[in-house]
Each structure stands twice: as structure tokens, then as C-alpha cells.
Amino acid sequence: MSEPKPSALPEALADDQLKSLTGTVLAAQANYYWVKLNQQAEPLLCTSRARLKKFGQQVMVGDRVRVEEPDWIEQRGAVAEVFVRRSQIERPPIANVDQILLVFALSEPTLDSTQLSRFLVKAESTGISTQLCLNKSDLASEAEQRHWTTRLRQWGYDPILLSLWQDEGSGQLYNLLDQKITVLSGPSGVGKSSLINRLIPQVKLRTGLVSGKLGRGRHTTRHVELFELPTGGLLADTPGFNQPDLICRPAQLADYFPEIRQRRTAGACQFNNCLHRDEPNCMVRGDWERYPLYLTFLAEVVAHQRDIDQRGDGEAMTKAKSKSAGVVKDEPRLAAAYRQVSRKTEKQLLRQLYSDEQCDEQYDEQ
């Protein structure tokens, strides 16, 4: 890489700063990363140093990174270091998130309490602060707005009522997003892309139409990307899903319900491993709205855990692979249909068809 001309360098940067700069990864695609440096308005297109891959260091959207050898003319550089993350989400892969903003619509599509709860539980499972926004409030009556606001506060959430059409609630939303990295999530068709277009006018995302047949939206977001808010902060749009999975241990599920966390402050259950079903002296079980839904989700999680336990090590989803440096790392296990039969297994199968002597002859011929 040739040395950039002095006229192409930012005047405010000292010579020692030109060799190593810090910034935030705004987008990742294949082995390239768009990095917004602290001192620059335009992001650099960067690759990652080979040593990062050697030590298994993944570069994620939202990472704070150190960039070496920036070329200001070509707008390129190389990610040399990834700083310690304060938070991380696996799906979608994004780091240093401050909060998750769940966006649902009061109408078109109709707000469904079960689907909303699945998204809330999934968001709570990340351990990151969860905020709730109800879009298209102009399509709901004042009685419906009061109903859902009161109901959700009993769940433990104080929603923002938003109307892009009437420009209501945007000020409250800007205050919530200010100087934070926020992940925007929710089902398709609730207006996430339209919301980003309003918050960040220079970004034009494709707006999906709600399917009249299914009463839900078509998927429009293809990858994760951080967008800079004019008032400060970063916003990440994520693919829309109609039914997020609930993958956790049965004992963890209760932690993802604010109502249960509140009831635990009043006292502890008799048993430390209480699942709040039919155990004696349970402090959680009772007449609260989402308790039947908690039991439904619990049955789903228990069934999933039972399925994992019954698979055994032979059907584990990952397997250990030894590295040359002595480090053992897990890697995905191929499905049975794509696994290569071992030589030992081949010989055992041959022994079932031939005598030992014939088996050795047949195996030697292969």
C-alpha cells in the first residue's frame, strides 16, 4: 500500500495517530468491514489482519477496533485489534449493544400478546436492556391505546406509542436512542424500515408491504448494519422474524419475565430449583396474566432440553477438534447424511458379511 499524499491526510491528526486509529465497525460483509473512525466522517473499507484469524478473533458489527495503515485516498485500512466487548448478541451477531428496541404495531398487523411475549422473552434472554415501541398508534382508538399501555405496564414495560404518519412519539424515541447503540427488532410489517427512514433520512431502506393473506409482513432486511443517527448514537436494523425460538434451560426461563422477577423480591420459593409449576410454597405461581403463557413456554423449553439430553454425545451439535498448538476448539458437527464413514466402521460392516479372513481380503482390495 503506497503512502498517502500529505494533502489527503486529516490536518487534525498527529503523525503517531496516522499509524493506528480506533473506530466502530458499522457493517460486515464477507471478509470486509466498514469502520467509522472517531476522527473521520467517512468510513474506511477494511480487511482484518491474519493474526486475528489465527487466534480465532472474530470481527463483529459494533466492535470497537484499532485500524492500521489507513489509506485516506483509497479509503481503506486493516483491522489490527478488537477491543474487549461490553456486550454481545449471537443472533444477530452484533457487539457492544446498549439496548434492544422491540417495535410492534397496534394495528396492521394486529398486535398478538403471544407473539409479543416470545419477542420479549428472547430479548430478555440476552441480558441487555429491553425497550418497547408500539407503532401505528394512529390506527388504534384511544381506548385501545390505553388498554395496551396499562396491560404492558403490568407486564413490566412502559411502551412508547409512535405514529410516523402523525409524527407523534418521535421526540421521546430520539431521547431513548441518544448516544447509544440500539438494536431494532420485531416482526415483519410493523414499520421498522419506515422508522429508520424517518430517523435517518439519508438511508433509504426497502419498505415491505403487509401480506393481506397472512396478516403479517414480508421479510425485507437482509443483513445487520449500524446506521448513524443525526442526533447521536447508532441504530441496527435486524431481519424480521414471526416466531423467534426460545432456547434456554428450563430454570432460566423465569428470569426473562419481569413479573416473576418482581415476585421473587417478595420472598424465595421453598425449593431453589423451583420451576413454578406445581411445587409447594411457590412464590411465583398465581393469578397474573402471563402465567399460563409462562407455563406454555416452559413446556416448550423442557421438551427442547429433553430432546438435547436424549441425543447423547453421539448426536451432539458440536464436536471437539484438536489444534496444532494444543488448543481444543468446538466445531459444528455435520448432519449424519453428510458424514464420511470411518475406516473402522467400514471394516465392522464388512465383518458382518464376510468371515474375518475374507474381510481382510475385501478391505485390502479397496
Q: Residues comprising the binding site for GTP?
A: 135-138, 186-194
Q: What is the rounded distance in angstroms from the CA atom of residue 96 to the CA atom of residue 359?
A: 59
Residues in the annotated binding site for Zn(2+): 269, 274, 276, 282
Residue 229 and residue 235 in contact, taking contact as beta carbons nearer than 8 Å: yes
Three-point CA angle 100, 101, 103, nearest 5°: 140
Cβ neighbours for 218, distance < 8 A, ≥ 6 positions apart: 188, 189, 208, 209, 210, 211
Who's near 353: CB < 8 A, 6+ residues apart? 359
Q: Output the known binding site.
A: 135-138, 186-194, 269, 274, 276, 282
CA 66/CA 81 separation, integer angstroms = 5
Q: What whole-number distance in Å separates Cα of residue 36 and Cα of residue 17?
A: 15
Instruction: Evaluate whether 62 touches 24 at the Cβ level (below 8 Å).
Output: yes
* Assigned C-alpha cell, 159: 411502551
**H-run or E-run covering 142:** helix 142-155
Amino acid letter at 178? D
Q: How far is the C-alpha of 74 from the C-alpha of 175, rounded, in Å?
A: 36
Gap between the Cα atoms of 335 and 154, Å rounded: 45
Name, in order, each residue with C-beta under 8 angstroms of 357's C-beta and a sequence gap of 6 or more.
none
Dihedral of the alpha carbons of 93, 60, 64, 255, in degrees to the nearest 10: 20
Cβ neighbours of 143 (radius 10 Å): 8
Residue with cell 420485531: 186
Residue reference for cell 474381510: 359
